[in-house]
Amino acid sequence: MESVRIDKWLWTVRLFKTRSMATDACNAGKVKMNGTNVKPSKNIKADEVFEVHIGQLVKTVKVLDAPKSRVGAPLVPQYCEDLTPPEEYERVRMLNMRFERRDRGEGRPTKRDRRQIEYIKNMLD
């Protein structure tokens, strides 16, 4: 495996949409290795494990290899292994459920709808 910068690797395995977003995440301390922040210029090696904060999700990934260029989504498992526990995905899903969502174009809830929403919220608490 040839040495690749961490920001470039995060972009090539599709953890971030752009390389500059990956660089900004490294500079902001959202990419960690063994609990310490990683600079964007750090060269990675195979079998290293990183924690990447993407929104509210803390994703744990293991480096398997470094692609030469950005790869398609079906090829990502060849280059990284997702070690994130399922509880983390469930935690993020539950956080997203706590917010009330309405589809676009539905308009404001009626008085009856609001009462039903409040009833359900009180049941969950």
> Lowest mean pLDDT: which of 3-7, 36-40, 57-61, 117-121?
117-121
115 lies in some domain: no
Q: Yes or no: say if 108 and 114 are a contact pair by the CB < 8 Å rule.
A: no
Instruction: State the amino acid at position 69 in one-letter form.
Output: S
Here the CATH number for the domain that contains residue 68 is: 3.10.290.10
Paired sense of beta strands 36-37 and 57-63, if any? unpaired
Query: Number of folded domains in the chain?
Result: 1
C-alpha pair distances (Å), 8 with each of 19, 21, 34, 47, 65: 6, 10, 20, 17, 13
97 lies in some domain: no
* H or E segment and range at residue 7: helix 6-12
Is the pLDDT confidence value at 3 over 80? yes
Is the pLDDT confidence value at 97 over 80? no
Residue 8 belongs to what domain range? Answer: 1-87
